[in-house]
Amino acid sequence: MSARLGILIFAAMLSMAVRADEISVKKGIEARFAGLKVESVTKTPYAGLYEIVVGDSIFYTDEKVGFVFKGEILDARTQKNFTEERQQKLSAIRFEDLPLELAIKQVRGSGKRVVAIFSDPFCPYCKSLDRALQREDNITIYTFLYPILRAESPEKSRSIWCAPDPAKAYYDFMLNGREPPPSSNCSAPVEKWLALGQKVGVRATPTSFTANGQRVMGARPEELVRLIGESKR
């Protein structure tokens, strides 16, 4: 037997053993927490822990399912947040599946960097993010109006969408507080916006998606700009 073949066989056996452990942990969790639907179990490379995914939540356990804890795991040396990184990967979407015709589009410069943002007109954090992104050039921003914060959010979104220049109306309102022009003979796709947000799991505004589908929650412009630069569409 060649050394290479021996290594491949060993790697395959090790993979099977890890998979068997993951199945065992899954059974243990479901036995201890009746009715819990475990979507996946993955052995982590740190401290012998197993990652358990339930819905959009991540928690951890040991091999014997003797202890379970929910929280974030950080690298003490680099401060890298392993849990957040995994959550971003698990919550990623297919950017190409977004119905961009339902978004307000603004292109600056070459527009080669792309991002989609779900925003409520009355969201102060959305305004903060919009203001920060005004400094960025060579970017295309697709804004999906997501009217969930106030009773008047749907009507304000309709007024912005129905303006002669929706992008101008949106940024005038968000950045300068200028009311969009009145429009009585126009219908906006409010129900489609809400359905889309629910489909891709948007629970708060702003929620942004980079071109590779990575999700960024909240007004975190520095992180978002970095991820936009790293993504490819």
> Looking at residue 165, what is its pLDDT?
95
12 has pLDDT over 80: no
Q: Averaged over 44-49, what is the pLDDT?
A: 87
118 has pLDDT over 80: yes
8 has pLDDT over 50: no
112 has pLDDT over 60: yes
C-alpha closest to that of 45 among 70, 8, 12, 80: 80
Residue type, 35: G
Q: What residues form DSSP beta bridges with 74?
A: 81
> Looking at residue 182, what is its pLDDT?
81
Mean pLDDT of the residues in the chain? 88
Backbone torsion region of residue 164, taken as left when φ is above 0, otherwise alpha when ψ lies between -120 and 50, otherwise beta: alpha
The Cα 224–Cα 217 span in angstroms is: 9
15 has pLDDT over 60: no
Q: Averaged over 143-157, what is the pLDDT?
A: 97
Residue 75 CB neighbours (<10 A): 10
230 has pLDDT over 50: yes
Q: Alpha carbon of 215 to those of 84, 184, 207: distances in Å?
A: 11, 35, 7
158 has pLDDT over 80: yes
Q: Averaged over 68-96, what is the pLDDT?
A: 88
Confidence of residue 184 (pLDDT cuts 50, 70, 90): confident
The Cα 12–Cα 18 span in angstroms is: 10
Looking at 45-54, 120-129, 191-200, which range is the least confident one?
A: 45-54
Tokens of 199: 């489909």
Stated pTM of the model: 0.77
Evaluate whether 135 touches 217 at the Cβ level (below 8 Å): no
H/E element, 53: strand 50-54
Looking at 20-24, 36-40, 67-71, 127-131, which range is the least confident one?
A: 20-24
